[in-house]
């Protein structure tokens, strides 16, 4: 029989998943940001990455990355 996780273990696992999602999105943005308006899909990749991050975490987290990378200057809007 599988071990039942405690509330603390579940909370830590959820926190780890959030951190992983944030780092994955950050890496995608870093890989694509220099190619916005140069390569055809960079804008879409960043937008989809932010959308996925907002779904996995919350809008505030996606907005924080928009601020971190100054994406509003490149045409992104914060999620409300």
Residue 16 inside a domain? The answer is no
Residue 60 inside a domain? The answer is yes
Query: Helix %, strand %, coil % for the chain, to 5?
Result: 70, 0, 30
Structural tokens at position 11:
């909370």
Residue 54 inside a domain? The answer is yes
Residue 48 inside a domain? The answer is yes
For residue range 21-32, list pLDDT tens digits in order.
999 999 999 999
How many structural domains are present in the chain? 1
Tell me which residue has tokens 């220099």: 34
Task: Calculate the alpha carbon distances from 20 to 8, 25, 27, 53, 57 in Å.
Answer: 18, 9, 11, 10, 11
Residue 42 inside a domain? The answer is yes
| Backbone angle region of 50, left / alpha / beta, with phi > 0 → left and psi within -120 to 50 → alpha | alpha
Residue 29 inside a domain? The answer is yes
Instruction: Report whether pLDDT(1) > 80.
Output: no
Contact 59, 79 (CB under 8 A): yes
Q: What is the pTM of this model?
A: 0.83
Q: Name the residue range of residue 38's domain.
A: 24-74
For residue range 4-51, list pLDDT tens digits in order.
767 777 688 788 899 999 999 999 999 999 999 999 899 999 999 999
């Amino acid at each position: 029989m599988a071990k039942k996780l405690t509330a603390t273990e579940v909370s830590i696992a959820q926190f780890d998943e959030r951190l992983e999602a944030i780092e994955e999105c950050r890496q995608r943005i870093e890989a694509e940001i220099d190619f916005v308006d140069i390569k055809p899909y960079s804008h879409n990749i960043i937008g989809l990455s932010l959308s996925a991050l907002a779904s996995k975490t919350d809008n505030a987290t996606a907005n924080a990355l928009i601020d971190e990378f100054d994406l509003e200057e490149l045409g992104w809007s914060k999620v409300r």
